[in-house]
Amino acid sequence: MPIKLRKEVRFAELLTPLKDYATEKQPIEHRYDPLTGRETVVTVGRFQYVKKNFESDKQAVSDVAEHTRENCPFCPARLERSTPKFPPNITAEGKFVAGESVLFPSLFAHMDYNAVAVLSREHYLAPKELAPERVYDAFRAGIAYLRRIRAVNSQALYASFMGNYFPLSGSSIIHPHMHVIASDLPFQLLRELLGRSKEYYSENGSNYWLDLIDEEQNSERHVGNIQETVWLTPFAPSNTYEVWAIDKRHSDLLDMGEEDFKPFAEGLGKVLSFYQDEQLSCFNFTLYSGPMGEDSSSHFRVGLRVLGRFGYKPPYVSDIWGLQAILMEGESYEAPEELAQKLKKYFT
């Protein structure tokens, strides 16, 4: 069946003390991802109340950056002696270098293959300073690493670039960096996307991601195009400030030349500029593809996802509560259509 954008609207009714206990009906949108069917709750109208939690305290950010500078293992004075090296079968140099980016094994691996790419010589950078140039260099170092991984282990099919910026995104080190991970087992998100994409192709005879581009190109959620990448806000976001990019041509990271990573770095830079203007300091992103070295072009495409997290500001509060952590329900405090309208000016 073709793409169906389904939502159901409910209303929570209460007597609110904010309006002298007058009756208030608050709309709750239950939206369903058109590929996976995963449900997300969009609490329309709550964004202005919650937005302050996404904003960071400039002094707190400055303080933690300065406090962690002296013993940072990723700063140039300590990088060489405090970070691991790859074995010779991966690279004789021990590390991969591209521009400012230096990539080496994670000291404590989270996956079968896990590298860390330091993005800059500077200990702290504001979000809009990270991309496009520095992220692009990290992509270049990362793809060189993935090519070597595939050369020594042809079963390492699944890979992703993953960025966690600042502590409330899950990062334990302030210095700008990203992870490159790979395994013979697909990550949960990738397993679900690949499986559902194959099902869609079997049922419809077309590529879901190209159909999604056609569906969203003229919608309220379309943000802009950069070369062969299409940028949009998802119909059923898993979180607030969530933005996607889809590559119209490639389904495998290894099929991409270095130049093909530039549109992703450029678009990510635009999103991070928007985040900074919104006073966000914490965010996550991932760049993923179908199985490396296998042809999944009939049903899959390379994609990027980025989302904002609650800000670095005392008292520190997590944006992941029971609804997401235990009940596994997505939640966004702003409609994706409204987010897209604010983002569009960054892409023009």
Would you say residue 3 lies in a domain? no
Would you say residue 199 lies in a domain? yes
Q: What is the tens place of the pLDDT at every residue in 311-329?
A: 999 999 999 999 999 999 9
Rg of the chain in Å (alpha carbons)? 21
pLDDT at 216 over 80: yes
Q: What is the tens place of the pLDDT at every residue in 55-101?
A: 999 999 999 999 999 999 999 999 999 999 999 999 999 999 999 99
Would you say residue 327 lies in a domain? yes
Number of domains within the chain: 1
Would you say residue 12 lies in a domain? no
Range of the domain at 215: 48-347
Would you say residue 219 lies in a domain? yes
> Which pLDDT value is given to residue 56?
97
User: Beta strand pairing status for 283-288 and 229-232?
Assistant: unpaired
Would you say residue 304 lies in a domain? yes
Identify the CA nearest to 41 among candidates 14, 8, 13. 8
Separation of alpha carbons 276 and 267, rounded Å: 14
Separation of alpha carbons 127 and 150, rounded Å: 32
Q: What is the DSSP string of 108-157?
A: S-SSSEEEEEE--SSS---GGGTTTHHHHHHHHHHHHHHHHHHHH-TT--
Specify the CATH number for the domain of residue 297: 3.30.428.10
Mean pLDDT confidence for 261-275: 98
The percentage of residues in the chain with a pLDDT greater than 90, rounded to a whole number, is 97
Would you say residue 169 lies in a domain? yes
Report the run of H or E that residue 285 belongs to, with start and end.
strand 283-288
> Which pLDDT value is given to residue 1?
62
Would you say residue 18 lies in a domain? no
